[in-house]
Amino acid sequence: MSRNVQQGKDHRSSETNVTSSLRAIKIILFFFLLSFLQTVIAQEIEHSEVGVIYKRERSLNINLNTDGWGFGYRFGFFKTGYVKRTIDLSFSFMHDLKEQKYYNPVDNNAKSFVYGKERNMYSLKILYGKQKDLSNKPYWGGVDIRWLNLFGFNLAMGKPIYLYVVDRSTDNILVTRKYDPDNHTLDVIYGRAPFVNGLDELEFYPSISFKTALNVEYGKIPEKTRAIEAGLIVNAYLIPYNIMAYQQPKYYDISFYVSFQFGKRFNP
């Protein structure tokens, strides 16, 4: 009887030892597998993050401003891994917030016009500065947030508005005239004249320009750039300008903008 009891105890002890050994083997295998996975992931991260270091970047952009819209070209070259020197070229069509289109109520073929608008304004900017990375995209994607500050020169150009107006002195014949707010009222304006009228009367308004913005890149392919940028532009004019009649000439203006950019990175 006592021998059977002892054999049972030995059997249970043997089972306990086997179970403990299997548990230890499982734990060892688990940590070995975990260590292996960590090594593989680390290698993937190192390979993805280092990759190819691109020293040049260029992009095209479309800008929507509070005072108009435009397009541009940007070229950058990296000074360090986190700072990029940037050259920014842009052309914009400037508008006034008070602009309102009118249409000829009699003839639908007449072109619309903005009553009270004396000139069309255009802006050509050449800016230079730096862009600094605030955060870097992880290797699997995400976004890259950057801050940029640019200074430079802005040349605004004004072209006088020409209209078709009714000439009361010649039996109501339509004539082309430069808009005169004192004489051309709504009852004599027929419509907008062709764009070429006034090109030989361009006026220039140079200014110093400053741009600051937050740039968010969301592209997943390292060689290509896809970004949205939002910021403000300040222009200080050496010669004041105005768009609408009876408006006080502006020596400076401030506008907010959103830009959509697409381009690529490369090495020379």
CA dist 179 and 177 (Å) reads 6
Q: How confident is the model at residue 140 (pLDDT cuts 50, 70, 90)?
A: low
Residue type, 246: Y
Tokens of 142: 């995400």
**Max Cα-Cα span within the chain:** 139
Per-residue model confidence (pLDDT) at position 83: 87
* Of the ranges 32-46, 59-73, 162-176, the best mean pLDDT one: 59-73
CA dist 69 and 208 (Å) reads 19
CA dist 24 and 107 (Å) reads 93
Per-residue model confidence as pLDDT tens digits over 76-104: 988 777 888 999 999 999 999 999 999 98
Eight-state DSSP code of residue 219: -
Please report, for the chain, the start and end positions of each structural domain, with discontinuous segments joined by +: 1-51, 54-266
First to last CA, the chain: 92
Per-residue model confidence (pLDDT) at position 29: 52
Between 53 and 245, residue with greater pLDDT:
245
How large a percentage of the chain has pLDDT more than 70? 78
Distances 53 to 25, 77, 78 between C-alpha atoms, Å: 45, 12, 10
Least confident of 23-32, 97-106, 141-150, 244-253: 23-32
Whether residue 47 has pLDDT greater than 90: no
Mean pLDDT of all residues in 109-126: 95
Q: Spell out a b/e string for 118-140, using b for 16 or more CB atoms within 10 Å of the CB, else e.
A: bbbbbbbbebebebebeeebeee
Q: How confident is the model at residue 139 (pLDDT cuts 50, 70, 90)?
A: low
Whether residue 70 has pLDDT greater than 80: yes
* Average predicted confidence (pLDDT) for the chain: 83
Tokens of 100: 């309102």
E strand segments, 48-200: 56-65, 68-78, 83-94, 101-102, 113-114, 119-135, 144-160, 162-167, 173-178, 189-192
CA dist 116 and 182 (Å) reads 10
Q: How confident is the model at residue 19 (pLDDT cuts 50, 70, 90)?
A: low
Question: What is the pTM assigned to this prediction?
Answer: 0.76
Contact 131, 104 (CB under 8 A): no
- Hey, what CATH class is 54-266 in? mainly beta
Whether residue 156 has pLDDT greater than 50: yes
Tokens of 24: 């230890």
Contact 143, 218 (CB under 8 A): yes
Per-residue model confidence as pLDDT tens digits over 211-246: 999 999 887 777 888 999 999 999 999 999 999 999
Q: How confident is the model at residue 149 (pLDDT cuts 50, 70, 90)?
A: very high
Least confident of 27-31, 152-156, 199-203: 27-31
Mean pLDDT of all residues in 95-114: 91
Segment (H or E) for 265: strand 250-266
